[in-house]
């Protein structure tokens, strides 16, 4: 809890600062995390601050109401649902890889799912050991967890690098975007009744029986139209 601004925040704690190696590691984490803070995307929580303390350091990020990936996988889902949840995360990973950086999701526990159903990096902070391959492994771990209840998860095309094809951020993003962009099945039009059919349904038998007894001047226009079929 940020008591000054009275808001919840997400903390990524960096320990081991008491040694020279730890200090160097902290500096590198901060330097690599700057890239995350400069990109605005729903797939990464906004970096608010980086605190360098005597006993520990931390990356402070916006806290977004969310659930863990395991909790999100408990609900019923589909291939399309999983693709929609992770496509923005995949696009962010692709962008970072193309710029020579990484998203730092080798540990899939850094990823949560917002209440809008979007998977995002809840605890930004780029360890010195982060690499593109670890990003890919972490991302695929998230997808496998979310797709646990899907009948045909292989439709996502992300589980393994089959047929000798390398699994890259570009391939992942293109696959997911193709799933999301698929046209929805054509809906069969519901046979709505015509205005006159709806009108006749509202007329009771008692109303019909009264029509002949009423003078023409007292009959409502819609009753007359209903009788004449006009």
pLDDT tens-digit readout, 3-32 = 888 899 999 888 755 544 456 678 788 888
For 33-77, what is each residue's pLDDT tens digit?
A: 887 767 778 899 998 988 887 777 888 999 999 999 999 988 767
- Res 131: pLDDT: 87
**Of residues 83 and 201, more confidently modeled:** 83
The rounded distance, in Å, linking the Cα atoms of 105 and 158 is 16
- Res 65: pLDDT: 93
Handedness of CA 34, 39, 45, 46 (dihedral sign): positive
For 159-198, what is each residue's pLDDT tens digit?
A: 544 554 567 888 888 888 888 887 765 555 555 554 444 4
**Of residues 93 and 107, more confidently modeled:** 93
**pTM of the complete model:** 0.71
- Res 152: pLDDT: 64
- Res 160: pLDDT: 47
Q: How many CB atoms lie within 10 A of CB 2?
A: 12
Q: What b/e readout covers 182-221, taking b as 16+ CB neighbours within 10 angstroms?
A: eeeeeeeeeeeeeeeeeeeeeeeeeeeeeeeeeeeeeeee
The rounded distance, in Å, linking the Cα atoms of 61 and 9 is 6
The rounded distance, in Å, linking the Cα atoms of 100 and 108 is 21
Q: Is the pLDDT of residue 225 over 50?
A: no
Phi, psi of 58, deg, nearest 5: -155, 150
For 98-133, what is each residue's pLDDT tens digit?
A: 888 888 888 888 999 999 999 999 998 887 778 889
The rounded distance, in Å, linking the Cα atoms of 199 and 100 is 67
Q: Is the pLDDT of residue 221 over 80?
A: no
Q: Is the pLDDT of residue 79 over 70?
A: yes
Mean of pLDDT values over 212-222? 51
- Res 157: pLDDT: 62
């Amino acid at each position: 809890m940020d008591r000054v601004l009275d808001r919840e925040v997400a903390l990524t704690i960096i320990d081991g600062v008491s040694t020279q190696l730890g200090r160097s590691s902290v500096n590198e984490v901060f330097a690599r995390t700057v890239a995350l803070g400069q990109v605005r995307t729903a797939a990464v929580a906004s970096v608010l601050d980086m605190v360098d303390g005597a006993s520990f350091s931390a990356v402070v990020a916006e806290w977004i109401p969310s659930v863990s990936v395991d909790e999100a996988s408990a609900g019923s889902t589909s291939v399309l649902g999983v693709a929609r949840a992770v496509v923005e995360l995949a696009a962010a990973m692709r962008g970072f890889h193309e710029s020579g950086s990484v998203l730092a999701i080798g540990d899939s526990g850094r990823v949560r799912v917002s209440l809008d159903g979007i998977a995002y990096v809840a605890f930004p902070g780029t360890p010195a050991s982060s690499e593109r391959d670890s990003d890919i492994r972490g991302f695929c771990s998230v997808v496998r967890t979310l797709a646990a209840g899907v009948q045909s998860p292989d439709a996502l095309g992300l589980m393994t690098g089959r047929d000798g094809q390398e699994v890259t951020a570009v391939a992942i993003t293109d696959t997911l975007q193709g799933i999301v962009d698929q046209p929805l099945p054509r809906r069969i039009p519901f046979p709505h009744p015509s205005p006159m059919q709806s009108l006749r349904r509202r007329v009771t038998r008692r109303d019909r029986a009264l029509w002949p007894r009423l003078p023409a001047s007292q009959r409502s226009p819609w009753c007359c139209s209903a009788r004449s079929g006009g």
